[in-house]
Structure 1
Amino acid sequence: MEYVGSVGLSGGLMCIWDPVLFEAISVVKNTNFLVVVGKLKGSGLLLNIGNVYAPQLVRAKKDLWDEIASIMEDHPSMWVVGGDFKAVREPSERRNSGFKNACASNFNSFIFNSGLLEYDMKGSRFTCIRGNGKKLSKINRFLVCSDFFNRWPDATFRALPASYSDHGPILLVSQMRNFGAKPFRVFNSCLEKEGYNEAVEKSLEGFNVSGPPDYVLLQKFATIRKGLKVWRDEMKKKEGESSSRALEELEELEKIMESRDLTEEEEWSFLENKKNY
Protein backbone atom coordinates (compact mmCIF):
# COMPACT_ATOMS: atom_id res chain seq x y z
CA MET A 1 0.00 0.00 0.00
CA GLU A 2 1.12 3.56 -0.76
CA TYR A 3 -0.60 6.86 -0.03
CA VAL A 4 -0.38 10.63 -0.27
CA GLY A 5 -1.78 12.51 2.72
CA SER A 6 -4.58 15.04 2.44
CA VAL A 7 -4.14 18.79 2.79
CA GLY A 8 -6.70 19.74 5.41
CA LEU A 9 -9.99 18.29 4.24
CA SER A 10 -8.93 18.14 0.59
CA GLY A 11 -7.06 15.54 -1.43
CA GLY A 12 -5.52 12.36 -0.20
CA LEU A 13 -4.69 9.38 -2.41
CA MET A 14 -4.22 5.67 -1.77
CA CYS A 15 -3.18 2.68 -3.87
CA ILE A 16 -3.71 -0.87 -2.60
CA TRP A 17 -2.79 -3.98 -4.57
CA ASP A 18 -2.69 -7.74 -4.22
CA PRO A 19 0.99 -8.82 -4.02
CA VAL A 20 0.01 -12.16 -5.54
CA LEU A 21 -0.96 -10.36 -8.76
CA PHE A 22 1.19 -7.22 -8.80
CA GLU A 23 4.75 -6.46 -7.70
CA ALA A 24 5.53 -2.82 -6.92
CA ILE A 25 9.02 -1.69 -7.93
CA SER A 26 9.01 2.02 -7.18
CA VAL A 27 6.66 4.90 -6.36
CA VAL A 28 6.40 8.50 -7.54
CA LYS A 29 4.44 10.87 -5.29
CA ASN A 30 3.10 14.38 -5.51
CA THR A 31 0.32 16.29 -3.76
CA ASN A 32 -1.93 15.64 -6.75
CA PHE A 33 -0.88 12.20 -7.96
CA LEU A 34 0.48 8.83 -6.88
CA VAL A 35 2.18 6.54 -9.40
CA VAL A 36 3.05 2.93 -8.58
CA VAL A 37 5.58 1.42 -10.99
CA GLY A 38 5.52 -2.37 -11.08
CA LYS A 39 4.87 -5.55 -13.02
CA LEU A 40 2.16 -8.17 -13.28
CA LYS A 41 3.08 -11.46 -11.65
CA GLY A 42 3.27 -14.44 -13.94
CA SER A 43 3.45 -12.53 -17.21
CA GLY A 44 6.17 -10.12 -16.05
CA LEU A 45 4.46 -7.29 -17.98
CA LEU A 46 5.48 -3.85 -16.73
CA LEU A 47 2.50 -1.78 -15.61
CA ASN A 48 2.37 1.74 -14.17
CA ILE A 49 -0.74 2.76 -12.27
CA GLY A 50 -1.41 6.46 -11.72
CA ASN A 51 -3.92 7.79 -9.18
CA VAL A 52 -4.91 11.44 -9.78
CA TYR A 53 -6.57 14.14 -7.68
CA ALA A 54 -6.31 17.25 -9.83
CA PRO A 55 -6.24 20.84 -8.51
CA GLN A 56 -9.01 23.35 -9.27
CA LEU A 57 -7.15 26.04 -11.21
CA VAL A 58 -6.79 25.64 -14.97
CA ARG A 59 -3.10 26.56 -14.95
CA ALA A 60 -2.38 24.18 -12.06
CA LYS A 61 -4.08 21.34 -13.95
CA LYS A 62 -2.00 22.11 -17.04
CA ASP A 63 1.17 21.87 -14.94
CA LEU A 64 -0.03 18.54 -13.54
CA TRP A 65 -0.68 17.12 -17.02
CA ASP A 66 2.84 18.18 -18.07
CA GLU A 67 4.36 16.53 -15.01
CA ILE A 68 2.49 13.26 -15.51
CA ALA A 69 3.44 13.25 -19.21
CA SER A 70 7.09 13.62 -18.19
CA ILE A 71 6.82 10.68 -15.79
CA MET A 72 5.23 8.59 -18.53
CA GLU A 73 8.15 9.34 -20.83
CA ASP A 74 10.56 8.17 -18.11
CA HIS A 75 8.64 4.87 -17.72
CA PRO A 76 7.79 3.69 -21.28
CA SER A 77 5.61 0.69 -20.47
CA MET A 78 1.88 0.07 -20.00
CA TRP A 79 -0.08 2.79 -18.23
CA VAL A 80 -3.41 3.11 -16.45
CA VAL A 81 -4.21 6.57 -15.10
CA GLY A 82 -7.42 7.12 -13.15
CA GLY A 83 -9.02 9.34 -10.59
CA ASP A 84 -10.58 12.78 -10.19
CA PHE A 85 -9.27 14.90 -13.07
CA LYS A 86 -11.60 17.85 -12.35
CA ALA A 87 -11.81 18.34 -16.11
CA VAL A 88 -14.18 17.32 -18.87
CA ARG A 89 -13.38 16.72 -22.52
CA GLU A 90 -16.47 18.26 -24.14
CA PRO A 91 -19.58 20.27 -23.16
CA SER A 92 -21.84 17.19 -23.11
CA GLU A 93 -19.89 15.92 -20.07
CA ARG A 94 -21.42 18.70 -17.95
CA ARG A 95 -24.97 19.70 -16.99
CA ASN A 96 -25.85 23.03 -15.34
CA SER A 97 -22.19 23.88 -14.72
CA GLY A 98 -19.71 26.00 -16.63
CA PHE A 99 -17.63 24.54 -19.45
CA LYS A 100 -14.09 25.93 -19.68
CA ASN A 101 -12.79 25.53 -23.20
CA ALA A 102 -9.16 26.16 -22.21
CA CYS A 103 -9.29 23.47 -19.50
CA ALA A 104 -10.85 20.93 -21.89
CA SER A 105 -8.34 21.80 -24.61
CA ASN A 106 -5.39 21.30 -22.25
CA PHE A 107 -6.84 18.00 -21.02
CA ASN A 108 -7.50 16.67 -24.53
CA SER A 109 -4.00 17.68 -25.64
CA PHE A 110 -2.49 15.80 -22.70
CA ILE A 111 -4.52 12.67 -23.56
CA PHE A 112 -3.65 12.84 -27.27
CA ASN A 113 0.05 13.65 -26.86
CA SER A 114 0.47 10.91 -24.24
CA GLY A 115 -1.16 8.31 -26.49
CA LEU A 116 -3.92 7.55 -23.97
CA LEU A 117 -7.30 6.03 -24.75
CA GLU A 118 -10.61 5.79 -22.92
CA TYR A 119 -13.15 2.97 -22.71
CA ASP A 120 -16.83 3.82 -23.06
CA MET A 121 -18.31 4.45 -19.63
CA LYS A 122 -21.19 2.21 -18.59
CA GLY A 123 -23.77 2.70 -15.86
CA SER A 124 -24.16 6.47 -16.02
CA ARG A 125 -23.28 9.55 -18.07
CA PHE A 126 -21.85 11.44 -15.08
CA THR A 127 -19.62 10.67 -12.11
CA CYS A 128 -20.12 13.74 -9.92
CA ILE A 129 -23.42 15.15 -8.60
CA ARG A 130 -23.51 18.46 -6.73
CA GLY A 131 -25.85 21.35 -5.98
CA ASN A 132 -28.58 19.12 -4.54
CA GLY A 133 -28.55 17.08 -7.73
CA LYS A 134 -28.64 20.04 -10.11
CA LYS A 135 -25.00 20.06 -11.26
CA LEU A 136 -23.58 16.96 -12.94
CA SER A 137 -20.25 16.26 -14.59
CA LYS A 138 -17.98 13.48 -15.80
CA ILE A 139 -14.70 14.36 -14.09
CA ASN A 140 -13.70 10.90 -12.86
CA ARG A 141 -12.34 8.45 -15.44
CA PHE A 142 -9.70 5.91 -16.43
CA LEU A 143 -7.21 6.52 -19.23
CA VAL A 144 -5.06 3.69 -20.60
CA CYS A 145 -2.21 3.40 -23.10
CA SER A 146 -2.79 1.74 -26.49
CA ASP A 147 -0.85 -1.39 -25.43
CA PHE A 148 -3.18 -1.92 -22.46
CA PHE A 149 -6.22 -1.20 -24.64
CA ASN A 150 -5.13 -3.70 -27.28
CA ARG A 151 -4.39 -6.42 -24.72
CA TRP A 152 -7.77 -5.96 -22.99
CA PRO A 153 -10.14 -4.62 -25.67
CA ASP A 154 -13.18 -6.02 -23.83
CA ALA A 155 -12.38 -4.30 -20.53
CA THR A 156 -15.31 -2.55 -18.86
CA PHE A 157 -15.31 0.95 -17.36
CA ARG A 158 -18.35 1.52 -15.16
CA ALA A 159 -19.63 4.44 -13.07
CA LEU A 160 -21.39 3.24 -9.92
CA PRO A 161 -24.17 5.19 -8.11
CA ALA A 162 -23.06 8.16 -5.99
CA SER A 163 -24.79 6.88 -2.86
CA TYR A 164 -22.37 8.01 -0.12
CA SER A 165 -20.68 11.02 -1.70
CA ASP A 166 -21.04 13.61 -4.44
CA HIS A 167 -18.63 11.44 -6.45
CA GLY A 168 -19.69 7.98 -7.59
CA PRO A 169 -17.05 5.19 -7.49
CA ILE A 170 -15.61 4.16 -10.85
CA LEU A 171 -14.56 0.64 -11.72
CA LEU A 172 -12.28 -0.73 -14.45
CA VAL A 173 -12.48 -4.49 -14.99
CA SER A 174 -9.90 -5.79 -17.46
CA GLN A 175 -11.56 -9.13 -18.18
CA MET A 176 -14.90 -10.72 -17.40
CA ARG A 177 -14.68 -14.39 -16.54
CA ASN A 178 -17.25 -17.07 -15.85
CA PHE A 179 -15.96 -19.47 -13.21
CA GLY A 180 -19.09 -21.59 -13.29
CA ALA A 181 -21.54 -22.11 -10.46
CA LYS A 182 -20.82 -20.44 -7.13
CA PRO A 183 -19.57 -22.85 -4.44
CA PHE A 184 -21.69 -23.69 -1.42
CA ARG A 185 -20.57 -21.44 1.43
CA VAL A 186 -21.67 -20.80 5.00
CA PHE A 187 -20.44 -17.69 6.84
CA ASN A 188 -20.10 -17.52 10.61
CA SER A 189 -22.32 -14.43 10.67
CA CYS A 190 -25.18 -16.50 9.19
CA LEU A 191 -25.06 -19.02 12.02
CA GLU A 192 -25.98 -16.33 14.56
CA LYS A 193 -28.98 -14.99 12.67
CA GLU A 194 -32.51 -15.82 13.72
CA GLY A 195 -34.12 -18.66 11.81
CA TYR A 196 -30.95 -20.07 10.23
CA ASN A 197 -31.08 -23.51 11.86
CA GLU A 198 -34.81 -23.77 11.17
CA ALA A 199 -34.22 -22.88 7.50
CA VAL A 200 -31.66 -25.67 7.13
CA GLU A 201 -33.94 -28.22 8.78
CA LYS A 202 -36.97 -27.12 6.77
CA SER A 203 -35.08 -27.34 3.47
CA LEU A 204 -34.30 -31.02 4.12
CA GLU A 205 -37.86 -32.03 4.98
CA GLY A 206 -38.83 -34.83 2.62
CA PHE A 207 -35.33 -35.06 1.14
CA ASN A 208 -34.97 -38.53 -0.37
CA VAL A 209 -32.23 -39.10 -2.93
CA SER A 210 -30.48 -42.38 -3.61
CA GLY A 211 -27.20 -43.10 -5.34
CA PRO A 212 -23.48 -42.92 -4.62
CA PRO A 213 -22.61 -41.10 -1.37
CA ASP A 214 -20.87 -38.21 -3.15
CA TYR A 215 -23.92 -37.64 -5.38
CA VAL A 216 -26.31 -37.72 -2.40
CA LEU A 217 -24.12 -35.23 -0.50
CA LEU A 218 -23.99 -32.91 -3.51
CA GLN A 219 -27.78 -32.99 -3.86
CA LYS A 220 -28.20 -32.38 -0.15
CA PHE A 221 -25.98 -29.28 -0.34
CA ALA A 222 -27.96 -28.06 -3.36
CA THR A 223 -31.24 -28.50 -1.48
CA ILE A 224 -29.94 -26.68 1.60
CA ARG A 225 -28.62 -23.88 -0.58
CA LYS A 226 -32.02 -23.34 -2.19
CA GLY A 227 -33.65 -23.21 1.23
CA LEU A 228 -31.07 -20.78 2.59
CA LYS A 229 -31.45 -18.47 -0.42
CA VAL A 230 -35.16 -18.13 0.39
CA TRP A 231 -34.33 -17.47 4.05
CA ARG A 232 -31.60 -14.97 3.12
CA ASP A 233 -33.91 -13.01 0.84
CA GLU A 234 -36.53 -12.80 3.59
CA MET A 235 -33.92 -11.60 6.10
CA LYS A 236 -32.61 -8.98 3.69
CA LYS A 237 -36.13 -7.78 3.13
CA LYS A 238 -36.75 -7.40 6.86
CA GLU A 239 -33.38 -5.80 7.66
CA GLY A 240 -32.95 -3.55 4.67
CA GLU A 241 -36.32 -2.55 3.25
CA SER A 242 -35.79 1.10 4.09
CA SER A 243 -32.20 1.15 2.81
CA SER A 244 -33.14 -0.71 -0.38
CA ARG A 245 -35.99 1.68 -1.14
CA ALA A 246 -33.71 4.66 -0.58
CA LEU A 247 -31.08 3.21 -2.93
CA GLU A 248 -33.63 2.43 -5.64
CA GLU A 249 -35.06 5.94 -5.47
CA LEU A 250 -31.57 7.48 -5.55
CA GLU A 251 -30.65 5.52 -8.66
CA GLU A 252 -33.92 6.48 -10.37
CA LEU A 253 -33.37 10.16 -9.54
CA GLU A 254 -29.77 10.02 -10.81
CA LYS A 255 -31.08 8.72 -14.13
CA ILE A 256 -33.62 11.57 -14.28
CA MET A 257 -30.84 14.11 -13.57
CA GLU A 258 -29.05 13.04 -16.73
CA SER A 259 -31.87 14.39 -18.91
CA ARG A 260 -33.52 17.20 -16.90
CA ASP A 261 -33.47 19.20 -13.66
CA LEU A 262 -35.19 17.78 -10.61
CA THR A 263 -38.46 19.30 -9.43
CA GLU A 264 -38.55 20.70 -5.88
CA GLU A 265 -40.28 17.54 -4.68
CA GLU A 266 -37.72 15.29 -6.40
CA GLU A 267 -34.85 17.38 -5.02
CA TRP A 268 -36.24 16.99 -1.49
CA SER A 269 -36.58 13.25 -2.07
CA PHE A 270 -32.99 13.09 -3.35
CA LEU A 271 -31.63 14.77 -0.19
CA GLU A 272 -33.78 12.67 2.17
CA ASN A 273 -32.75 9.41 0.51
CA LYS A 274 -29.09 10.45 0.76
CA LYS A 275 -29.58 10.73 4.53
CA ASN A 276 -31.40 7.43 4.87
CA TYR A 277 -29.13 5.27 2.72
Structure 2
Amino acid sequence: MWDRRVVEKIKEVVGHFSISCRFKNVNDHFEWAFTGIYGPNLNRKRQFMWEELVGLNNWWNLPWCFGGDFNVIRFGSERLGAGRFTCCMNDFSDFISLHGLMDNPLEGGLYTWSNSNSASRIDRFLFSPVLVEYFTHFSQKRLPRVLSDHFPILWESGSHRRGRIPFRFENIWLKAKGFLDKMKSWWENYHFQRTPSYILAKKLIALKTDLKKWNETNFGNIIVKKQHLWSKLNALDVKEDNQPLTEEEKLEKATFRANLEKAALFEEISWRQKSRVLFLKEGDSNTRFFYRMTNSNRRNNCIENLMIDGSLSSN
Protein backbone atom coordinates (compact mmCIF):
# COMPACT_ATOMS: atom_id res chain seq x y z
CA MET A 1 0.00 0.00 0.00
CA TRP A 2 3.06 2.26 -0.13
CA ASP A 3 5.98 2.55 -2.52
CA ARG A 4 9.03 1.00 -0.85
CA ARG A 5 11.27 2.98 -3.14
CA VAL A 6 10.05 6.11 -1.33
CA VAL A 7 9.30 5.09 2.28
CA GLU A 8 10.12 2.15 4.54
CA LYS A 9 7.73 0.98 7.26
CA ILE A 10 9.52 0.71 10.62
CA LYS A 11 6.70 -0.25 12.98
CA GLU A 12 2.93 -0.55 13.18
CA VAL A 13 0.36 -0.31 15.98
CA VAL A 14 -3.32 -1.36 15.91
CA GLY A 15 -5.67 0.35 18.38
CA HIS A 16 -9.42 0.33 19.02
CA PHE A 17 -10.05 3.31 16.74
CA SER A 18 -6.88 3.54 14.66
CA ILE A 19 -4.10 1.80 12.74
CA SER A 20 -0.72 3.56 12.83
CA CYS A 21 2.49 3.09 10.85
CA ARG A 22 5.90 4.57 11.51
CA PHE A 23 7.74 5.38 8.25
CA LYS A 24 11.26 6.38 7.23
CA ASN A 25 12.01 8.17 3.96
CA VAL A 26 14.42 6.22 1.77
CA ASN A 27 16.30 9.27 0.51
CA ASP A 28 16.87 11.36 3.65
CA HIS A 29 15.93 8.85 6.45
CA PHE A 30 13.40 11.31 7.85
CA GLU A 31 10.94 9.49 10.16
CA TRP A 32 7.25 10.29 10.46
CA ALA A 33 3.99 8.53 11.27
CA PHE A 34 0.59 8.04 9.70
CA THR A 35 -2.62 7.02 11.49
CA GLY A 36 -5.77 5.83 9.78
CA ILE A 37 -8.86 6.55 11.92
CA TYR A 38 -12.41 5.29 12.21
CA GLY A 39 -14.08 7.26 14.99
CA PRO A 40 -17.01 6.06 17.15
CA ASN A 41 -20.57 7.24 16.63
CA LEU A 42 -21.31 7.59 20.35
CA ASN A 43 -20.25 10.80 22.11
CA ARG A 44 -19.21 9.00 25.30
CA LYS A 45 -16.68 6.89 23.35
CA ARG A 46 -14.96 9.76 21.57
CA GLN A 47 -12.91 10.66 24.62
CA PHE A 48 -11.33 7.19 24.45
CA MET A 49 -10.35 7.87 20.82
CA TRP A 50 -8.64 11.16 21.74
CA GLU A 51 -6.79 9.43 24.58
CA GLU A 52 -5.64 6.67 22.23
CA LEU A 53 -4.31 9.18 19.69
CA VAL A 54 -2.60 11.30 22.37
CA GLY A 55 -0.91 8.19 23.74
CA LEU A 56 0.40 7.21 20.30
CA ASN A 57 1.67 10.71 19.65
CA ASN A 58 3.49 10.88 22.99
CA TRP A 59 4.95 7.39 22.53
CA TRP A 60 6.58 7.92 19.13
CA ASN A 61 6.93 11.72 19.36
CA LEU A 62 7.21 12.13 15.57
CA PRO A 63 5.76 14.43 12.92
CA TRP A 64 2.33 12.95 12.30
CA CYS A 65 -0.48 12.69 9.78
CA PHE A 66 -3.98 11.61 10.88
CA GLY A 67 -6.58 10.71 8.30
CA GLY A 68 -9.93 8.98 8.07
CA ASP A 69 -13.50 9.09 9.33
CA PHE A 70 -13.47 10.98 12.65
CA ASN A 71 -17.29 10.80 12.86
CA VAL A 72 -17.34 14.33 14.29
CA ILE A 73 -17.28 17.85 12.84
CA ARG A 74 -15.34 20.94 13.96
CA PHE A 75 -17.78 23.73 13.05
CA GLY A 76 -21.50 24.12 12.55
CA SER A 77 -20.95 24.93 8.87
CA GLU A 78 -19.61 21.42 8.35
CA ARG A 79 -23.03 19.82 8.81
CA LEU A 80 -26.16 20.59 6.84
CA GLY A 81 -28.59 22.36 9.17
CA ALA A 82 -26.28 22.28 12.23
CA GLY A 83 -26.75 24.95 14.87
CA ARG A 84 -24.69 25.70 17.98
CA PHE A 85 -21.28 24.40 19.00
CA THR A 86 -21.24 21.15 20.96
CA CYS A 87 -18.78 19.67 23.44
CA CYS A 88 -17.65 17.11 20.84
CA MET A 89 -16.83 19.87 18.38
CA ASN A 90 -14.83 21.73 21.04
CA ASP A 91 -12.95 18.54 22.00
CA PHE A 92 -12.00 17.99 18.35
CA SER A 93 -10.65 21.53 17.98
CA ASP A 94 -8.82 21.24 21.34
CA PHE A 95 -7.09 18.05 20.11
CA ILE A 96 -5.95 19.82 16.93
CA SER A 97 -4.75 22.87 18.84
CA LEU A 98 -2.99 20.83 21.56
CA HIS A 99 -0.82 19.02 19.01
CA GLY A 100 -0.37 21.97 16.65
CA LEU A 101 -1.93 20.13 13.72
CA MET A 102 -2.81 21.71 10.38
CA ASP A 103 -6.28 21.27 8.86
CA ASN A 104 -6.20 22.29 5.20
CA PRO A 105 -9.45 23.45 3.56
CA LEU A 106 -11.34 20.78 1.67
CA GLU A 107 -11.28 21.28 -2.10
CA GLY A 108 -13.96 20.00 -4.43
CA GLY A 109 -17.02 20.18 -2.16
CA LEU A 110 -18.45 21.07 1.24
CA TYR A 111 -19.18 17.67 2.75
CA THR A 112 -17.52 14.25 2.82
CA TRP A 113 -20.60 12.19 3.74
CA SER A 114 -24.22 12.50 2.69
CA ASN A 115 -27.44 10.56 2.27
CA SER A 116 -30.92 11.62 1.22
CA ASN A 117 -31.54 13.52 4.48
CA SER A 118 -28.23 14.84 5.79
CA ALA A 119 -24.66 15.81 4.89
CA SER A 120 -21.51 16.56 6.89
CA ARG A 121 -17.73 16.79 6.76
CA ILE A 122 -16.64 13.96 9.04
CA ASP A 123 -13.62 12.77 6.97
CA ARG A 124 -10.39 14.76 6.84
CA PHE A 125 -6.59 14.76 7.06
CA LEU A 126 -4.63 16.52 9.82
CA PHE A 127 -0.84 16.81 9.86
CA SER A 128 2.12 18.29 11.72
CA PRO A 129 3.59 21.51 10.25
CA VAL A 130 7.06 19.88 10.20
CA LEU A 131 5.88 17.62 7.36
CA VAL A 132 5.61 20.67 5.09
CA GLU A 133 9.41 20.87 5.06
CA TYR A 134 9.68 17.35 3.61
CA PHE A 135 6.45 16.97 1.58
CA THR A 136 5.45 20.17 -0.22
CA HIS A 137 2.17 21.40 -1.72
CA PHE A 138 -0.24 19.69 0.67
CA SER A 139 -3.91 19.60 -0.31
CA GLN A 140 -6.94 17.48 0.45
CA LYS A 141 -9.51 17.06 -2.30
CA ARG A 142 -12.94 15.50 -2.34
CA LEU A 143 -13.31 12.95 -5.14
CA PRO A 144 -16.61 11.78 -6.64
CA ARG A 145 -18.22 8.77 -5.00
CA VAL A 146 -19.61 5.74 -6.80
CA LEU A 147 -21.46 3.54 -4.29
CA SER A 148 -20.62 4.60 -0.72
CA ASP A 149 -22.25 7.35 1.35
CA HIS A 150 -18.71 8.68 1.90
CA PHE A 151 -16.74 10.67 -0.67
CA PRO A 152 -13.11 9.55 -1.11
CA ILE A 153 -10.61 12.16 0.13
CA LEU A 154 -7.28 12.48 -1.69
CA TRP A 155 -4.37 13.91 0.28
CA GLU A 156 -1.69 15.10 -2.15
CA SER A 157 1.85 16.34 -1.64
CA GLY A 158 3.44 16.51 -5.09
CA SER A 159 4.26 13.84 -7.65
CA HIS A 160 7.13 11.66 -8.83
CA ARG A 161 8.94 12.19 -12.09
CA ARG A 162 8.83 9.20 -14.41
CA GLY A 163 10.96 8.25 -17.38
CA ARG A 164 9.82 7.34 -20.87
CA ILE A 165 7.40 4.39 -20.90
CA PRO A 166 8.30 1.62 -23.39
CA PHE A 167 5.65 0.23 -25.75
CA ARG A 168 3.73 -2.80 -24.48
CA PHE A 169 0.69 -4.59 -25.79
CA GLU A 170 -2.20 -3.89 -23.39
CA ASN A 171 -4.60 -6.73 -22.61
CA ILE A 172 -7.40 -4.19 -22.10
CA TRP A 173 -7.34 -3.54 -25.87
CA LEU A 174 -8.85 -7.00 -26.32
CA LYS A 175 -12.00 -5.70 -24.56
CA ALA A 176 -12.54 -3.07 -27.29
CA LYS A 177 -15.23 -3.90 -29.83
CA GLY A 178 -13.84 -4.98 -33.21
CA PHE A 179 -10.21 -4.82 -32.07
CA LEU A 180 -9.21 -8.33 -33.23
CA ASP A 181 -10.73 -7.76 -36.68
CA LYS A 182 -8.82 -4.49 -36.96
CA MET A 183 -5.55 -6.20 -36.01
CA LYS A 184 -6.17 -8.92 -38.60
CA SER A 185 -6.83 -6.31 -41.27
CA TRP A 186 -3.62 -4.44 -40.42
CA TRP A 187 -1.54 -7.62 -40.47
CA GLU A 188 -2.86 -8.78 -43.84
CA ASN A 189 -2.14 -5.39 -45.43
CA TYR A 190 1.57 -5.40 -44.50
CA HIS A 191 3.72 -6.44 -47.46
CA PHE A 192 7.48 -6.89 -47.23
CA GLN A 193 10.03 -8.88 -49.23
CA ARG A 194 13.11 -10.90 -48.13
CA THR A 195 13.48 -13.71 -45.59
CA PRO A 196 10.58 -14.88 -43.37
CA SER A 197 12.30 -13.61 -40.18
CA TYR A 198 12.85 -10.20 -41.77
CA ILE A 199 9.20 -10.04 -42.89
CA LEU A 200 7.99 -10.99 -39.39
CA ALA A 201 10.18 -8.34 -37.74
CA LYS A 202 8.99 -5.65 -40.16
CA LYS A 203 5.34 -6.60 -39.67
CA LEU A 204 5.70 -6.39 -35.89
CA ILE A 205 7.26 -2.91 -36.18
CA ALA A 206 4.43 -1.78 -38.45
CA LEU A 207 1.84 -3.30 -36.11
CA LYS A 208 3.35 -1.47 -33.14
CA THR A 209 3.04 1.84 -35.00
CA ASP A 210 -0.61 1.20 -35.86
CA LEU A 211 -1.41 0.07 -32.31
CA LYS A 212 0.10 3.21 -30.79
CA LYS A 213 -1.78 5.43 -33.25
CA TRP A 214 -5.06 3.56 -32.65
CA ASN A 215 -4.61 3.76 -28.88
CA GLU A 216 -4.10 7.54 -29.02
CA THR A 217 -6.95 8.33 -31.43
CA ASN A 218 -9.59 5.66 -30.67
CA PHE A 219 -9.08 3.81 -27.41
CA GLY A 220 -7.51 6.59 -25.34
CA ASN A 221 -5.74 6.68 -22.01
CA ILE A 222 -7.77 4.81 -19.37
CA ILE A 223 -6.36 6.95 -16.53
CA VAL A 224 -7.29 10.18 -18.33
CA LYS A 225 -10.77 8.83 -19.11
CA LYS A 226 -11.23 7.83 -15.49
CA GLN A 227 -10.13 11.26 -14.24
CA HIS A 228 -12.51 12.92 -16.71
CA LEU A 229 -15.41 10.80 -15.44
CA TRP A 230 -14.45 11.58 -11.82
CA SER A 231 -14.51 15.28 -12.69
CA LYS A 232 -17.96 15.07 -14.31
CA LEU A 233 -19.33 13.05 -11.40
CA ASN A 234 -17.79 15.44 -8.87
CA ALA A 235 -19.43 18.44 -10.56
CA LEU A 236 -22.84 16.83 -10.06
CA ASP A 237 -21.99 15.92 -6.45
CA VAL A 238 -21.00 19.53 -5.73
CA LYS A 239 -24.24 20.77 -7.28
CA GLU A 240 -26.21 18.28 -5.19
CA ASP A 241 -24.67 19.79 -2.04
CA ASN A 242 -26.70 22.93 -2.64
CA GLN A 243 -29.79 21.87 -4.60
CA PRO A 244 -31.62 18.71 -5.75
CA LEU A 245 -30.66 17.29 -9.14
CA THR A 246 -33.12 17.13 -12.01
CA GLU A 247 -34.22 13.76 -13.40
CA GLU A 248 -31.98 14.30 -16.43
CA GLU A 249 -28.99 15.02 -14.20
CA LYS A 250 -29.73 11.92 -12.09
CA LEU A 251 -29.75 9.80 -15.25
CA GLU A 252 -26.51 11.45 -16.37
CA LYS A 253 -24.94 10.74 -12.97
CA ALA A 254 -25.94 7.06 -13.21
CA THR A 255 -24.33 6.86 -16.67
CA PHE A 256 -21.10 8.41 -15.37
CA ARG A 257 -21.00 5.86 -12.54
CA ALA A 258 -21.51 2.93 -14.94
CA ASN A 259 -18.74 4.19 -17.23
CA LEU A 260 -16.50 4.78 -14.21
CA GLU A 261 -16.95 1.17 -13.09
CA LYS A 262 -15.97 0.03 -16.60
CA ALA A 263 -12.90 2.27 -16.58
CA ALA A 264 -11.94 0.92 -13.14
CA LEU A 265 -12.20 -2.64 -14.49
CA PHE A 266 -9.93 -1.74 -17.42
CA GLU A 267 -7.44 -0.18 -15.00
CA GLU A 268 -7.46 -3.35 -12.89
CA ILE A 269 -6.78 -5.48 -15.99
CA SER A 270 -3.88 -3.19 -16.85
CA TRP A 271 -2.36 -3.48 -13.36
CA ARG A 272 -2.95 -7.24 -13.40
CA GLN A 273 -0.87 -7.44 -16.58
CA LYS A 274 1.89 -5.21 -15.19
CA SER A 275 2.09 -7.24 -11.98
CA ARG A 276 2.27 -10.54 -13.89
CA VAL A 277 -0.07 -12.17 -11.34
CA LEU A 278 -1.70 -15.01 -13.26
CA PHE A 279 -3.16 -17.15 -10.48
CA LEU A 280 -6.07 -14.94 -9.41
CA LYS A 281 -9.63 -15.54 -10.55
CA GLU A 282 -11.52 -13.03 -12.67
CA GLY A 283 -13.25 -10.80 -10.16
CA ASP A 284 -10.42 -10.68 -7.60
CA SER A 285 -10.25 -6.90 -7.58
CA ASN A 286 -7.57 -5.06 -5.64
CA THR A 287 -5.65 -2.56 -7.76
CA ARG A 288 -3.34 -1.67 -4.85
CA PHE A 289 -2.29 -5.32 -4.60
CA PHE A 290 -1.38 -5.39 -8.31
CA TYR A 291 0.46 -2.08 -7.94
CA ARG A 292 2.47 -3.54 -5.03
CA MET A 293 3.32 -6.65 -7.07
CA THR A 294 4.41 -4.48 -10.01
CA ASN A 295 6.84 -2.55 -7.80
CA SER A 296 8.09 -5.85 -6.39
CA ASN A 297 8.79 -7.11 -9.92
CA ARG A 298 10.70 -3.92 -10.69
CA ARG A 299 12.87 -4.42 -7.62
CA ASN A 300 13.52 -8.05 -8.58
CA ASN A 301 14.66 -6.91 -12.04
CA CYS A 302 17.56 -5.02 -10.48
CA ILE A 303 20.99 -6.71 -10.83
CA GLU A 304 22.88 -6.24 -7.56
CA ASN A 305 26.01 -8.28 -8.35
CA LEU A 306 27.67 -10.39 -11.08
CA MET A 307 30.08 -13.30 -11.11
CA ILE A 308 33.12 -12.19 -13.15
CA ASP A 309 35.96 -14.67 -13.72
CA GLY A 310 34.97 -16.60 -10.61
CA SER A 311 34.72 -13.49 -8.35
CA LEU A 312 31.51 -11.88 -7.13
CA SER A 313 31.43 -8.17 -8.04
CA SER A 314 28.90 -5.52 -6.93
CA ASN A 315 30.82 -2.56 -8.37
When the two structures are superposed, what TM-score results if normalisation uses the length of structure 1?
0.71
Alignment of 1:120-135 (within 5 A): 120-131=105-116, 134-135=117-118
Alignment of 1:1-277 (within 5 A): 16-96=1-81, 101-131=86-116, 134-177=117-160, 179=162, 184-191=167-174, 193=176, 194-195=178-179, 198=182, 224-233=211-220, 250-258=233-241, 260-262=242-244, 265=247
- What is the rounded CA distance, in whole Å, between the counterparts of 2:44 and 2:160 in structure 1? 43
Read off the aligned partner of 1:119 and give its amino acid letter: N
In the alignment, is the contact (CA less than 8 A) between 2:32 and 2:64 conserved in 1? yes
- What is the rounded CA distance, in whole Å, between the counterparts of 1:275 and 1:99 in structure 2? 37
In the alignment, is the contact (CA less than 8 A) between 2:236 and 2:253 conserved in 1? no
Deviation of the 1:17 alpha carbon = 2.7
In the alignment, is the contact (CA less than 8 A) between 2:239 and 2:245 conserved in 1? no
Structure with the largest fraction of strand: 1
Match of 2:88, SS state, is helix
Deviation of the 1:219 alpha carbon = 11
> Identity percentage over the alignment?
24
Read off the aligned partner of 1:21 and give its amino acid letter: V
- What is the rounded CA distance, in whole Å, between the counterparts of 1:96 and 1:184 in structure 2? 54
* Alignment deviations for residues 109-148 of structure 1 (CA, whole Å, 9 cap, x no partner): 00110111122322222211112xx422111111111110
The change in CA–CA distance for 1:99 and 1:66 in structure 2 (over 3 A counts) is farther
Aligned residues: 242
The change in CA–CA distance for 1:219 and 1:51 in structure 2 (over 3 A counts) is same
Read off the aligned partner of 1:108 and give its amino acid letter: S
In the alignment, is the contact (CA less than 8 A) between 1:199 and 1:228 conserved in 2? no
When the two structures are superposed, what TM-score results if normalisation uses the length of structure 2?
0.63
| RMSD, aligned CA | 3.9
- Mind listing any 5+ residue stretches in structure 2 that lack a counterpart? 191-203, 262-315
Residue 9 (structure 1) aligns with: none
- What is the rounded CA distance, in whole Å, between the counterparts of 1:102 and 1:68 in structure 2? 18
- Mind listing any 5+ residue stretches in structure 1 that lack a counterpart? 1-15, 207-216
Residue 7 (structure 1) aligns with: none
